[in-house]
Amino acid sequence: MPNAYISGTGFYVPPRVVTNADLVKQYGIDITHEWIVQRTGIEERHFAEEGVGTADLALEASKQAIERAGIDKHDLDMIILATLSPDHAFPGSGVYLQQKLGLCEGDNAKFVPALDVRNQCSGFLYSLATATSMVKSGAAKHVLAVGAETHSAALDLSTAGRTVASLFGDGAGAVVVSATEEDRGVRGWYLGADGRHADVLSQKVWDIKKRPFIPLNEAGVGQVQPDHMWAQMKGKVVFRHAVERMIGVLMQACMDQGITRDDIDLFFFHQANLRINQYVADQLGIPPERVVHNIQRFGNTTAATIPILLAESEQNGKLKRGMKIAMITFGSGFTWGAAIVDW
C-alpha cells in the first residue's frame, strides 16, 4: 500500500486589501480597529472584485500546487473542492475548476471526477482525508484538494452585521496529494461532527422545506429575510465548543500516533479566531513559536485557511521537508478534525 504525501502546495488571495479602518470608512460600519483586534486578532482581509468567483480563486491556487508538485495537470486523477461559498447552488464548483484548468479541452482531455465538500471550516481536512484514502487505496495517484471561499459577496457589511462581517476574507489554498513509497506523508486523520449544534453557526439563505423554498412577493420576485440572508452565529457557544473539540481531537490524534506535542514541529490551526488558537495552545502548553498564524492578514477564509497556511509556510521557508506537523480545525455543523503529517 503506498503512502500519501503532499507533493505540492499553492495559495491565492485577491489583490484588494480591506483593513479594519476600511470597514469603517468604506462601509460605514460602527466598529473600531481595536475592537476587532482585541476579539479576533484580525487586522485586514482580502475581498474579490465583482465578477470573480470561488472557482476563479481556486484556479490560481491549484495552478501553483500542480506546478510545485512537479506534475502536469493531466496527471491529476481527481479534484476535491471544499467551500461554503460555491459559485452557484449547483452544480458544484469542482466542475467549474476542472473546466478552468483546461482538463476538458484538446486531444488529451481528461474528465477526472470532481467532488465538492460542504463541511465549512472543516472542509479542507475532510477533503484531505478523502484524498489520502483514495491515494492509499490505489484508486488515484494524484488528487488535487482545494479550499476556496468568496465570502465578501455574502457578508452583511453594515453595523448590524459587524460581528460576523469583520471576521471573513476571500482566498484559496490547494494541495496535491500524491502516492509515494517513501516513509512520509499523512500518518492519520481524525474527523468528527455533532449535529445537535447545527443551527449555532449557519446561513439559511433558503429553506428547501418551504414551498417555494424562497418566498415570492406579488411580482414573483424572491425575497429572503435578513436572518436567513446573512450568516448567524452564537459566538460564545462557538468559542467554547471550538476549544473543547480542537483540544480533544488533537489529543486523540497524538495518542493514536503514539506521539506527544513535543514531537510535533509545527501546528496549523484553522484561522477562525486568533484568541481561540492562542487559548488552545496555552491549554496544551504549546510554545507560541510552533503555532503558525496568518489570520491577522487574511481573516477567516474558512475551508481555505489551512491550505493557505501550508503553502505560505512552505514558500517562506518555515515549513521544511522532514518536519512532523499537525493540522487542527473546527467549524459549523459542528464539525472538527485533525491530521498528523510527516512533511
Among residues 46, 241, 270, 277, which one is catalytic? 270
Q: Are 171 and 308 in contact (CB under 8 A)?
A: yes
Q: At what angle do helices 235-257 and 274-284 cross, to 10 degrees?
A: 40
Measured CA to CA, the distance from residue 60 to residue 308 in angstroms comes to: 12
Among this protein's residues, is 270 annotated catalytic? yes
Based on the residue annotation, tell me whether 254 is a catalytic residue of this protein.
Answer: no
Give the number of other Cβ atoms within 10 Å of residue 250's Cβ: 24
In terms of C-beta density within 10 A (0-12 exposed, 13-18 middle, 19 or more buried), how is residue 328 classed?
buried
Whole-angstrom distance, CA of residue 197 vs CA of residue 188: 26
> CA 96, CA 91: separation in Å to the nearest integer?
8
Catalytic annotation present for 277:
no
Question: Hey, is 76 helix, strand or coil?
Answer: coil
* Of 214, 249, 210, 251, nearest in space to 229 by CA: 214
Neighbours of 341 (CB within 10 A): 24
Kindly name the residue from 20, 46, 119, 121 that is annotated as catalytic: 121
Q: Which residues are catalytic?
A: 121, 270, 300
